[in-house]
Amino acid sequence: MQHKIGIVGFGGMGSWHAELIDKIDGLTVAGIYDIRQERIEYAKSSGLHVYGNFEKMLADPEVELILAAAPNDLHKPLSIQAMQAGKHVVSEKPVTLNTSELVEIIEVSKKTGMFFTVHQNRRWDEDYLTMEKIYREGILGKVHRIEPRVHGSRGIPGDWRQEPERGGGMVLDWGVHLLDQVLRLMGDIKLTHVHATLTNITNRMVDDGFTALLFFENGVEILVEVGTSNFISLPRWYMQGRDGTAMINDWNLNGKIVRAVGKDEQDTIPVRTAAGITKTMAPRREDTIHEIPLPVVQSDIKDFYKNVMGVIEGKEEPKIKLPEVLRVMKLMEAVFASAASKQVVQFEVTGSEKELKEVNEDHE
Amino acid sequence: MQHKIGIVGFGGMGSWHAELIDKIDGLTVAGIYDIRQERIEYAKSSGLHVYGNFEKMLADPEVELILAAAPNDLHKPLSIQAMQAGKHVVSEKPVTLNTSELVEIIEVSKKTGMFFTVHQNRRWDEDYLTMEKIYREGILGKVHRIEPRVHGSRGIPGDWRQEPERGGGMVLDWGVHLLDQVLRLMGDIKLTHVHATLTNITNRMVDDGFTALLFFENGVEILVEVGTSNFISLPRWYMQGRDGTAMINDWNLNGKIVRAVGKDEQDTIPVRTAAGITKTMAPRREDTIHEIPLPVVQSDIKDFYKNVMGVIEGKEEPKIKLPEVLRVMKLMEAVFASAASKQVVQFEVTGSEKELKEVNEDHE
């Protein structure tokens, strides 16, 4: 079966998708639509068909699926229009600027019966998948803290990504990936509280970075950090368990795991600094720890589209589920709320709190 | 002039002091007192006089100064007894277990006229002094975030430091240094809010680590972190300014500064990962940044005792001032309060809030 996709918005991500789709059996780009003349020229020079407007793309019966890769504020109207025209939709991330817009989309998907999903592509990033494996396999013992970071030093791109009304800012741009990754990592565990801060170092219009400390019901704390004024990058991932620590330094998956070997030092040699000594913070003797390489997991992002086709053909469950996407969107709103109020905000009610609430309601 | 000091508590820090004092002109160890037989033997074998009890040390007219280096809960009674016996006092840190105990000590110091100070030795640590220089000289442009961390992987020492009633735990042990350093770095700037978490990974009795996010009135955010289950250490210092980042990796002052050279890249090459591309987070092209070495500041911890002697002789102001020590103690209480309530706590009232409060009070 051959599926055809129309790409709306042929910027950096749009053309990335076109290149990817070119390598996938069963899926072809029917054509693209963009309002920018230079992108139209570029598409034509790449041998792609260019529709004169979005309506013409939707009117093409060959087009079964639409990719919404235009600026963030357009995901909603494009997606709704496409589903109402009988097309399935893949939206770029962030799917919308807030939850109520996403709920509207979900309603249209239910009403029209069209499949709608979001390109949460970084679930396939090998750094994430490798940390997930370390976590699931208990390589570090009981994990208590995880710190995913993405650091750049360019500020934010000087296009629509600096405009709040178009969905600019780093919470929506990179937070949507990192928050999705850590929620997925924690699975069914409730996220009870959030404390977040935003930065405006290079840009006053939208956040150019943030930190979000997330508290999960199982005691795990996750510090998510995105920065665009970091001229030296801290590690992409840092994970602490009772018996070891794992670190992934960079996009190239440099990193390591260091584990205790269960052997104590009887005669710790203190570290001397200019002004004092410390045994507590002295480095470990080599024979009390063991360094192992990262169990690197490989992935293939083509699986995203293969899954989309499987869903359309009625053979598979979607890998990116809308309740997950909605939860990430709600979490981004909690990040904004915490930063604005400078307070810890509650996110999901825990089991015991919920029971208590029900008991109280019974007595009202 | 020759000053003589009596050392109470001859453990790791007590003997560190004795070795240091041995190198200082004008200061001599009159003798030590400890309740542990093996420490008494060790002192004798080092050629030090050992007093039979604390009262005998205080009764020695040659002893002008007492060093309180016993477990933390003893700093207060030892210091008060010494000042009432007409001795000046240097206390190890943390000076007391809470602010009310410190206030008691300060009252006795005022009443007796005896000098009392605290061995906040890590103000002389070269890593701290180097970051202070970078901050003061504006090498990174306007600074917005500072992250001092101390990471070990041994848990906490298995002695009185695991007992809460004796002042165990990492907030009191290492927090007292790191919080003192950052308050000193910020000078007169008010610290408005604190959000903190404690860890109990290897120990249920006392905290074996903490994180404290401090918000200053000038917009600087400081994340202070102490961990004892970190098998890989994150950098000792990380400081971000508008135009650059500074990092000190370890106790040996390995590290660097990376600054923007004010040159933009017109043709950023995106980073490709398994599942996507990013221009925002792509590494900088070499000619748009400039790496410079750390401006390492050297120090001499002997200056601590030289200052103590100068104060006793009426020639100098104390370098460790009691209002500073009290402020750090209050901040440690705020850290505990935030962690216990899981909320952001207010610390110092800002100028505008204070004015508003006064206006409101006028209208009452």
- How high is the pLDDT of residue A158? 78
What is the rounded CA–CA span in Å between residue B328 and residue B185? 13
Q: For chain B, say whether A59 makes contact (Cβ under 8 Å).
A: no
Contact list, B121 vs chain A (CB under 8 Å):
275-276
Sort strands B116-118 and B88-91 into parallel, antiparallel or unpaired: parallel
Contact A284 B154 (CB under 8 A): yes
Q: For chain A, say whether B141 makes contact (Cβ under 8 Å).
A: no
What is the rounded CA–CA span in Å between residue A13 and residue B64? 75
Considering only the beta carbons, identify the residue of B124, B231, B256 that sits closest to A244. Answer: B231
pLDDT at A364 exceeding the cut of 50: no
| Tens digits of residue pLDDT in A216-265 | 999 999 999 999 999 999 999 999 999 999 999 999 999 999 999 977 77
For residue B311, the distance in angstroms to the closest alpha carbon of chain A comes to: 20
Helix count (H) and strand count (E) of chain B? 11, 16
Comparing CA positions, the residue from B80, B71, B70 lying closest to residue B101 is B80
For residue B65, the distance in angstroms to the closest alpha carbon of chain A comes to: 21
| Residue with tokens 């002094």, as numbered in its chain | B129
Contact A231 B244 (CB under 8 A): yes
Q: What are the helix (H) ranges across B238-321?
A: 302-312
Q: What are the helix (H) ranges across chain A?
A: 12-21, 37-45, 54-59, 75-84, 99-112, 126-136, 170, 176-186, 302-312, 322-341, 351-362
User: Percentage of residues in chain A with pLDDT exceeding 70?
Assistant: 96
Q: For chain A, say whether B276 makes contact (Cβ under 8 Å).
A: yes
What is the rounded CA–CA span in Å between residue A101 and residue A73? 10
Sort strands A209-216 and A221-227 into parallel, antiparallel or unpaired: antiparallel
Contact list, A340 vs chain B (CB under 8 Å):
none
| Residue with tokens 């400039």, as numbered in its chain | B290
Q: For chain B, say whether A240 makes contact (Cβ under 8 Å).
A: yes
Considering Cα of B46, then B52, then B53, then B55, what sign does the dihedral take? negative
pTM to 2 decimals?
A: 0.94
Q: What residues of chain B, 113 to 132, have a C-beta less than 8 Å from chain A? A: 121-127
What is the rounded CA–CA span in Å between residue B180 and residue B331? 9
Considering Cα of A279, then A284, then A285, then A289, what sign does the dihedral take? positive
pLDDT at A291 exceeding the cut of 70: yes
Omega of the bond leading into B94 within 30 degrees of 0 (cis): yes
- How high is the pLDDT of residue A262? 79
- The burial of A313, by beta-carbon neighbours within 10 Å (0-12 exposed, 13-18 middle, 19 or more buried), is given as exposed
Q: For chain B, say whether A258 makes contact (Cβ under 8 Å).
A: yes
What is the rounded CA–CA span in Å between residue A37 and residue A35? 6
Q: For chain A, say whether B144 makes contact (Cβ under 8 Å).
A: yes
What is the rounded CA–CA span in Å between residue A17 and residue B306? 69
Mean pLDDT of chain A: 94
Comparing CA positions, the residue from A46, A158, A176, A235 lying closest to residue B238 is A235
Q: For chain B, say whether A204 makes contact (Cβ under 8 Å).
A: no
User: Percentage of residues in chain A with pLDDT exceeding 90?
Assistant: 84
B83 token code pair? 């000042």
Contact B281 A174 (CB under 8 A): yes
Q: For chain B, say whether A297 makes contact (Cβ under 8 Å).
A: no
pLDDT tens, N- to C-terminus, chain B (364 residues): 799 999 999 999 999 999 999 999 999 999 999 999 999 999 999 999 999 999 999 999 999 999 999 999 999 999 999 999 999 999 999 999 999 999 999 999 999 999 999 999 999 999 999 999 999 999 999 999 999 999 999 998 878 888 999 999 999 999 999 999 999 999 999 999 999 999 999 988 999 999 999 999 999 999 999 999 999 999 999 999 999 999 999 999 999 999 999 877 777 788 888 888 998 998 888 889 999 999 999 999 999 999 999 999 999 999 999 999 999 999 999 999 999 999 999 999 876 666 656 655 555 4
- How high is the pLDDT of residue B203? 87
Sort strands A289-292 and B289-292 into parallel, antiparallel or unpaired: unpaired
How many Cα neighbours within 13 Å face the side chain of A264?
8
Considering only the beta carbons, identify the residue of A235, A251, A289 that sits closest to B273. Answer: A251
What is the rounded CA–CA span in Å between residue B304 and residue A188? 54
